[in-house]
Amino acid sequence: MKRIFIAIDVKTPQVVQKILEIERSLESLEVPIKTVEPENLHITLAFIGEVEDDLVETAKEALREIKGKSIMAEFHGIGAFPNITSPRVVWAGVKGGSEDIIQLQRKVESALKIYKIGFEKERNFIPHLTLGRIKGRKNIDKLRTFIEKNADIFFGIEKFEEVKLKESILTPKGPIYKDLFVQKLEG
């Protein structure tokens, strides 16, 4: 059994550096938060979950169907899900390129449906980059103020050239992600 999902990775050094600066600032607020490691930064397009190995091969076939151009996306602003008063996830937003990522996500869902692969359906997919998960209520007011103050922060521009099928290996220190298949996007 493997726990799998489909994503696009964030790896432009300037973007990653700015994200790490914000994550360090979040940790300094002494809010119970588990931030995302730099090597794990990604936008999830579809979460499939625990599957047998043969379904991993089927997911690779589905991903081969994904065609499209590379995407330029601008990371801009931070916020929280479900909302700023009861945050469970702190995220960086996507401004420029958001529509292209939404179209890519729809292609991924469509391919998964054609190959009869179950996945967690997103009602309103909003491209975002998870920065951290909140594990309690301590100093939530500090967090809310920080998010409001950084609502318009600019992280930089990322060029997404690959869609990846990834395995999530859960460990006590957090997940380790392993690429199982990479589908290139055109120029």
CATH code of the domain in which 24 resides:
3.90.1140.10
pLDDT tens digits for 151-162? 999 999 999 999
Sign, CA dihedral 131-183-178-118, equals: positive
The total number of structural domains that make up the chain = 1
Active-site residue among 2, 76, 128, 164? 128
Active-site residue among 42, 76, 164, 166? 42
Question: How high is the pLDDT of residue 110?
Answer: 97
Residue 9 binned pLDDT confidence (cut-offs 50, 70, 90)? very high
Residue 187 binned pLDDT confidence (cut-offs 50, 70, 90)? low
> Does the active-site annotation cover 42?
yes
Q: pLDDT averaged over the chain?
A: 96
pLDDT tens digits for 80-119? 999 999 999 999 999 999 999 999 999 999 999 999 999 9
Give me the domain span that covers residue 90: 2-184
In sequence order, which ranges of the chain are alpha helices (DSSP H)? 13-28, 53-64, 98-114, 140-149
pLDDT tens digits for 166-182? 999 999 988 999 999 99
Question: How high is the pLDDT of residue 174?
Answer: 87
Q: Please tell me the pTM assigned to this model.
A: 0.95
